[in-house]
Amino acid sequence: MAVEFHLEKTCRQTGARLGLLTTAHGSFHTPIFMPVGTQATVKTLTPAQLHELGAEIILSNTYHLYLRPGHALVAKAGGLHRFMQWPSSILTDSGGFQVFSLNDLRKITEEGVEFRSHLDGSRQFLSPELATEVQNALGADIIMCFDECTPYPADYNYAKASLERTVRWAARCKQAHGKPTEQALFGIIQGGIHKDLRAEGAKAMTEMDFPGYALGGLSVGEPKPLMYEILEHTVPYMPPDRPRYLMGVGSADALVEGVLRGIDMFDCVLPTRVARNGTALTANGKVVVRNAAYAEDFAPIEYGCDCYACQHFSRAYVRHLIKAEEVLGLTLISIHNLRFSLRLMADMRQAIREDRSGDFARAVLARLQS
Amino acid sequence: MAVEFHLEKTCRQTGARLGLLTTAHGSFHTPIFMPVGTQATVKTLTPAQLHELGAEIILSNTYHLYLRPGHALVAKAGGLHRFMQWPSSILTDSGGFQVFSLNDLRKITEEGVEFRSHLDGSRQFLSPELATEVQNALGADIIMCFDECTPYPADYNYAKASLERTVRWAARCKQAHGKPTEQALFGIIQGGIHKDLRAEGAKAMTEMDFPGYALGGLSVGEPKPLMYEILEHTVPYMPPDRPRYLMGVGSADALVEGVLRGIDMFDCVLPTRVARNGTALTANGKVVVRNAAYAEDFAPIEYGCDCYACQHFSRAYVRHLIKAEEVLGLTLISIHNLRFSLRLMADMRQAIREDRSGDFARAVLARLQS
């Protein structure tokens, strides 16, 4: 198998799991958060900075790289790791989420999805086979089945038809996968907010025996309690010896709630996206550093944080940079926000080791709401 | 004195000098290039990255910091070194150059210059006293007299009146300087392209006994050969035991030509400014990395360069970043361009040590034009 997953333990207090995931580019403990490097770069950061803040696996987007610079170019460069000089693990999504987000610009058939490029309006097409071929060319350690990300809300019949197509597409992806010993292809469970469909999706995917399974179509607009309910219902249908990946989740509360329900992997653009609005993530909630309130605040972004930004710079300086439209402001908040998210997961792992993940989660969630 | 300058040697082949300049924040050898951090940040780079690429002194702009975030705030933060977390030496200009660049937005009197802020159009005023007070508050190791940067072309009478006002203003700056034991105030020699005025300016400034002298009003549009002629004429009037600073010069050929004529310090926005157009500086001239010609060029920006960008990334990747409007593209080219400029000066220093600065300069200039 292209990846190995060793389940080290489950917390005695909750469903939280400690695992060790090994790819061709390294081993790391789960649960883990994956920073997003959409266009073969985690925005504003060098790989050296990403490494320094503790990232062990990052995500990159097939849709974007397919359109620019093109997977053939990345393959010529020696693959995505070499192209972007990220020596650790990489996961690529399948492009499904981005393509389906185009709404009026795409048309779904059994064969695949026809869409218009957000760059130049050109007519494009992605199918399970092509999405897999593109991901084979990019060469990430973990690749994803091409699925339809069922929107929220979606009625039962739509969600059912969508799920069943996603299952048929998954079989085609598996069939098309050209490098099964080098890259692990994960299945994606859809089903919207319909519990029996989620169960059906989990069973169908499990039967295809993927090395890992993702939950898709969550965190797409539904209330968080509903997402947690779906997690609680679906996770028991997923095999315990395979990593479980909740796609697109990255707020601190949802990371914690996901871990408690047995999720091992997460990704989200949130830490770097809010950085671009001058917003920092902290244990006490969001701090909008660009606000005038911080103009003469010489404290770090977050006391006690071990990141490069907090070890050196004041809120007043970061605010000055943001107001002056200096890139370094985005860089410093991105460093902090990613370090915050990665450290939260590291703390969570330690709590699982010590069978206190429930206590730890309660404390984190209480402080976030304070 | 706030700075000490030790002239270690003059090359036997040319007028090039090797010096050691010591400030409260460190010692460095001259000739040296100073990266520009206009708004208390060298664009797109962290201080750690700047340090790694070998910067020993940077320049920041009084005009910009006066308007935003204001010198009072920087003083409250503990001064500019602490505010921007740059532990090595800093030089601030006086704001004169920026204010005079505003053209229609400013009015000059004997008292000072009234101008409108480029940020909000508000009415502002800078005088020799205020520019010095602002620089005292910012706390740079080297500060500059408030001068009029005589434009090119300027007729003899204008240049003479302007020079004489600059001389009177220099006396007022010296008088106003509140921290002569902590910050070295350098005088600025103006005079346009008129040789007798340059001589007059140099003599008048030297009589005021500043710890260092700058040449202003050059590299403002005049042909380069004319600038070199003015340097050759003026430098002999400048005291050999004080550092000589040619303001606003940063192209590789002008750096070399300046060093040959006895200049010790240079600053310029060029390396970071052209980076924002996707242009890299190399020993063979400029490389416009954003051009399609480099789409599949997997060579580094410059072979043999020891910078982080060239040690890791291909032109194809950097071009992808630029086309995709990713900040990392600017960061990587800025790192390279600054390292290129700093290494050129380091190589020049070594050539002076070995009495071969003329040979070295000839080789550099020939390769640039190839």
For residue A263, which of A281, A280, A249 has the smallest C-alpha distance?
A: A249
Sign of CA dihedral B299, B302, B306, B307: negative
- Is the CB of residue B9 less than 8 Å away from at least one CB of chain A? no
Q: What value does the mean pLDDT take over residues B29-52?
A: 98
Alpha helices in B284-326 (DSSP H): 308-312, 315-323
For residue B327, give the chain A residue with the closest CA: A44
Residue A316: list chain B partners with CB under 8 A: 69, 73, 77, 83
For residue A308, which of A291, A289, A328 has the smallest C-alpha distance?
A: A328
Name the burial class of residue B319, with classes exposed (0-12), middle (13-18) and buried (19+) by CB atoms within 10 angstroms of its CB: buried
Q: Give the residue from A320, A326, A333, A334 with the most B CB atoms within 10 Å of its CB, the best one to mutate.
A: A320
- The per-residue DSSP string of A184-196 comes to EEEEEE--TT-HH
Place A189 in a pLDDT band, splitting at 50, 70 and 90.
very high
Distance CA B2, CA B211 (A): 8
Is a pLDDT exceeding 90 seen at residue B102? Answer: no
Distance CA B17, CA A366 (A): 65
Number of helices (H), then strands (E), in chain B: 15, 16
Residue A294: list chain B partners with CB under 8 A: none
Q: Whole-number mean pLDDT of chain A? A: 97
Q: Which residue is associated with the tokens 């640039």?
A: B368
Check residue A370 and give its pLDDT.
Answer: 81
For residue A330, give the chain B residue with the closest CA: B44
Binding-face residues of B in 127-156 toward A, CB within 8 A: none
From A40, A49, A298, residue closest to B77, measured CB to CB: A298
- Is the CB of residue A39 less than 8 Å away from at least one CB of chain B? yes
Check residue A56 and give its pLDDT.
Answer: 98
A310 phi and psi angles, rounded to 5 deg: -75, -25
From B45, B312, B320, residue closest to A85, measured CB to CB: B312
Beta bridge partners of B30: B19
Using an 8 Å Cβ cutoff, are A368 and A283 in contact?
Answer: yes
A135 phi and psi angles, rounded to 5 deg: -65, -35
Is a pLDDT exceeding 90 seen at residue B230? Answer: yes
pLDDT digits (tens, 9 = 90+) for A48-102: 999 999 999 999 999 999 999 999 999 999 999 999 999 999 999 999 888 888 8
Of all residues in chain A, the percent with pLDDT exceeding 90 is 96
Check residue B1 and give its pLDDT.
Answer: 79
From B77, B308, B331, residue closest to A317, measured CB to CB: B77
Q: Do strands A113-116 and A106-108 pair parallel, antiparallel, or not at all (unpaired)?
A: antiparallel
Inspect the interface and report whether the beta carbons of A68 and B323 lie closer than 8 Å.
Answer: yes
For residue A248, which of A184, A190, A289 has the smallest C-alpha distance?
A: A190
Inspect the interface and report whether the beta carbons of B83 and A314 lie closer than 8 Å.
Answer: yes
Distance CA B19, CA B22 (A): 10
Is a pLDDT exceeding 80 seen at residue A210? Answer: yes
Using an 8 Å Cβ cutoff, are B342 and B54 in contact?
Answer: yes
pLDDT digits (tens, 9 = 90+) for A217-271: 999 999 999 999 999 999 999 999 999 999 999 999 999 999 999 999 999 999 9
pLDDT digits (tens, 9 = 90+) for B343-370: 999 999 999 999 999 999 999 999 998 8
From B45, B76, B327, residue closest to A43, measured CB to CB: B327
Number of helices (H), then strands (E), in chain A: 15, 16
Inspect the interface and report whether the beta carbons of A317 and B44 lie closer than 8 Å.
Answer: no
From A41, A47, A331, residue closest to B321, measured CB to CB: A41
Check residue B159 and give its pLDDT.
Answer: 97
ipTM value, please give it.
Answer: 0.98
Place B104 in a pLDDT band, splitting at 50, 70 and 90.
confident
Using an 8 Å Cβ cutoff, are B355 and B8 in contact?
Answer: no
H or E, element range at A202: helix A195-207
A27: helix, coil or strand? strand
Which residues of B are known to be catalytic?
93, 267
Check residue A4 and give its pLDDT.
Answer: 98
Residue A84: list chain B partners with CB under 8 A: 317
CA distance to A93, A268, B78, B231, B267, per residue, from A248 (Å): 11, 5, 42, 61, 46
Distance CA A314, CA A297 (A): 7
Q: Which of A155, A196, A267, A347 is catalytic?
A: A267
Distance CA A263, CA A260 (A): 7
Using an 8 Å Cβ cutoff, are B238 and B4 in contact?
Answer: no
Q: What value does the mean pLDDT take over residues B288-307?
A: 98
Q: What value does the mean pLDDT take over residues B86-105?
A: 90
CA distance to A174, B15, B69, B117, per residue, from B64 (Å): 58, 35, 8, 9
H or E, element range at B27: strand B26-30
Inspect the interface and report whether the beta carbons of A308 and B48 lie closer than 8 Å.
Answer: yes
Q: Do strands B4-10 and B17-23 pair parallel, antiparallel, or not at all (unpaired)?
A: antiparallel
- Is the CB of residue B76 less than 8 Å away from at least one CB of chain A? yes
Check residue A101 and give its pLDDT.
Answer: 83
Q: How far is B122 from chain A (nearest CA, A)?
A: 17
For residue B112, which of B172, B174, B202 has the smallest C-alpha distance?
A: B172
For the question of whether the overall pTM of this predicted structure is more than 0.90, the answer is: yes
Inspect the interface and report whether the beta carbons of A68 and B328 lie closer than 8 Å.
Answer: no
Cross-sheet strand order for the sheet of A113-116: A106-108, A113-116, A123-126
Is a pLDDT exceeding 90 seen at residue B282? Answer: yes
Q: Whole-number mean pLDDT of chain B? A: 97
- Is the CB of residue B316 less than 8 Å away from at least one CB of chain A? yes
Check residue B105 and give its pLDDT.
Answer: 79
Is a pLDDT exceeding 80 seen at residue A104? Answer: no
Q: Do strands A142-144 and A89-92 pair parallel, antiparallel, or not at all (unpaired)?
A: parallel
Check residue B218 and give its pLDDT.
Answer: 97
pLDDT digits (tens, 9 = 90+) for B162-213: 999 999 999 999 999 999 999 999 999 999 999 999 999 999 999 999 999 9
Binding-face residues of A in 87-116 toward B, CB within 8 A: none
Helices A357-369 and A327-353 sit at what angle, rounded to 10 degrees? Answer: 150
Task: Count interface pairs A-B at CB distance under 8 A.
Answer: 108
For residue B142, which of B243, B268, B68, B30 has the smallest C-alpha distance?
A: B243
